[in-house]
Amino acid sequence: MKKRNIIIIVAVTVVLLITVGIFTYLNAGNVGEKKKLEEEAIILIKSQDKELARIDMALLEKTGIKDFTANLDTSDSEAQKHVYSGIFLNELLESFGIDINEYSTVIAKAVDGYTVAFDAAEVVQPDNIYIAVKMDGKDLGTKSTGGSGPYQLIVTKDAFSQRWCKFLIELELK
């Protein structure tokens, strides 16, 4: 092979390698962030300072994620119907052997300090309170990415979405 041809081939190969390297570097940040998100996506269930369960995405998927619909009504938009993917809260509690009837109140807490209380009767009510992980097929995202997850408590019977809890991190049973 002539020397000139070798030089051309080497030059093209170097350019290709540099291009691949640049795109790999740009995506590395995304991979790292996703891993951190997955590592920190935990919901703690507790009662009287005793930990009853620790839930992550894998556990939710194992318990069984289903689709359900709910109307999202925010202070600066009209109500819109969305398809969420998640698990019925009472079903999740039962999978850990937690009988909600032994408690009167469930308090949901978010990473930004938002806290909301529910009667046990509301938790038992069919098709009412869910823990969602996706909206319309897409991951909910996190607070830092402008999302509402990784977990969001959805109350389908709450017409004005006032008691929905974004960035859910803890459930306290009282």
Partner 1 sequence: MTKIRKKIIISIIVFIIFSAGAAGGYFLFDITGNEGFIPSLNVNGDLNNALTINNLDFSDKWQTLDYNGKKINVIKLEDLLNLAEPLSQDNIIYFIGEDGRASAIYTDSRELVEESYISFNNKNGWEVINLAYPVNSNIKRINEIVVVMKENKTDFGLNIISPLKNLINITPGQAGLITGKYFEDAGTSSKSGNGNNYESTVFSVRQTFNLNDIFAVLNSGEIGSARIESGYPADIDGFQDKIVIYGSQGQYRFTDTAGYFELAHNSINYVDPVLDETIENVKGVIMDPPAASIMDVYHDTTGLISQDKKVMLVITDGFGYHQYRYAIENGYAPYLSSLPPAEMATSVYEPVSNSGLAAMFTGKPGSESGIYTRKTREPQIPTIFGYLFEKGKKARFIEGDIQIIKLETDTELHTDLNSSGTIDDEIMEAALSAISSNEFDFIAVHFHSIDDSGHDYGDISKETMETIKEIDSYIKKLASTWTGKIIITSDHGMHATDEGGSHGELRFEDMIVPYIIFDSIPEK
Question: Contact residues for partner 1 (CB under 8 A)?
Answer: 75, 104-105, 107, 112-119, 122, 162-163
Shortest Cβ 165–partner 1 spacing (Å): 9
User: Whose Cβ is closer to partner 1: residue 88's or residue 167's?
Assistant: 167
User: Whose Cβ is closer to partner 1: residue 48's or residue 75's?
Assistant: 75
Do 167 and 149 meet the contact criterion of CB atoms below 8 Å apart?
A: yes
User: Whose Cβ is closer to partner 1: residue 59's or residue 116's?
Assistant: 116
Shortest Cβ 21–partner 1 spacing (Å): 25
Shortest Cβ 105–partner 1 spacing (Å): 6
The reply to whether omega before 150 is within 30° of 0 (cis) is: yes
Shortest Cβ 78–partner 1 spacing (Å): 13
